[in-house]
């Protein structure tokens, strides 16, 4: 595909047809553009700064949702974009932008699956109840304070209690 084809609205090729068919089936629109440097994607250096050029650069810097072409998957490219499996006899690839940096709050949630979170929640609910029942003769804490203290201990929050 040439840049003039996109500007004139005369895009063509089996990659274009494939994406347009998927877009029609799932109800989304497409907008095509070529990278300014008309390259597939390599590491370049400008003013002592390395950057990605071409279609890979478009995906790596979030200037597109998908880059599609007969671009080979390389380890360095896979570090900045997420490649698809090859398809067709020409080994055409789809490259999507890589994972985004998430806010730090997600670092608490992401390491565990639903089952793990179920066990953690179950432990946080049952442990204070068991502790209260076992220690109620020796402790001044009410059931409410036992829950609060247990959850705060689990989350490593310092709480000052007043009796």
CATH number (domain holding residue 32) = 3.40.190.10
Does residue 49 sit within a domain?
Answer: yes
Q: Which residues of the chain have pLDDT under 70?
A: 1-11, 86-90, 157-163
Burial class (CB in 10 A: 0-12, 13-18, 19+), 22: exposed
Q: Which of 97, 115, 147 is the last residue of a domain?
A: 97
pLDDT at 25: 93
Burial class (CB in 10 A: 0-12, 13-18, 19+), 17: exposed
Q: Does pTM surpass 0.75? A: no
In terms of residue numbers, what domain contains 8? 3-97
Does residue 162 sit within a domain?
Answer: no
pLDDT at 27: 93
Residues 93 and 111 in one domain: no
**Domains contained in the chain, number:** 2
Residues 33 and 111 in one domain: no
Does residue 160 sit within a domain?
Answer: no
Tokens of 46: 């400008």
The rounded distance, in Å, linking the Cα atoms of 30 and 28 is 7
**103 membership: H or E segment, kind and range:** none
pLDDT at 123: 85
User: Strands 43-46, 81-83: parallel, antiparallel or unpaired by DSSP?
Assistant: unpaired
Which residues are 43's β-sheet partners? 52
Q: Are 6 and 34 in contact (CB under 8 A)?
A: yes
pLDDT at 163: 46
Residues 123 and 92 in one domain: no
Tokens of 24: 């029609």
Residues 85 and 111 in one domain: no
Does residue 142 sit within a domain?
Answer: yes
pLDDT at 136: 83
């Amino acid at each position: 595909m040439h840049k003039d084809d996109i500007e004139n609205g005369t895009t063509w090729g089996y990659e274009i047809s494939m994406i347009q068919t998927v877009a029609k089936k799932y109800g989304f629109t497409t907008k095509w553009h070529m990278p300014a440097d008309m390259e597939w994607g390599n590491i370049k250096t400008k003013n002592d700064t390395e950057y990605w050029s071409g279609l890979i650069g478009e995906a790596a810097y979030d200037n597109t949702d998908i880059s599609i072409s007969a671009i080979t998957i390389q380890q360095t490219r896979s570090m900045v974009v997420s490649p698809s499996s090859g398809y067709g006899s020409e080994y055409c690839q789809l490259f999507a932008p890589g994972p985004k940096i998430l806010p730090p709050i997600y670092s608490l949630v992401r390491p565990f699956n639903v089952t793990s979170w179920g066990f953690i929640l179950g432990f946080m609910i049952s442990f204070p109840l068991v502790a209260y029942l076992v220690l109620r003769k020796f402790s001044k804490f009410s059931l409410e304070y036992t829950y609060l203290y247990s959850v705060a201990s689990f989350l490593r929050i310092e709480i000052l209690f007043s009796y």
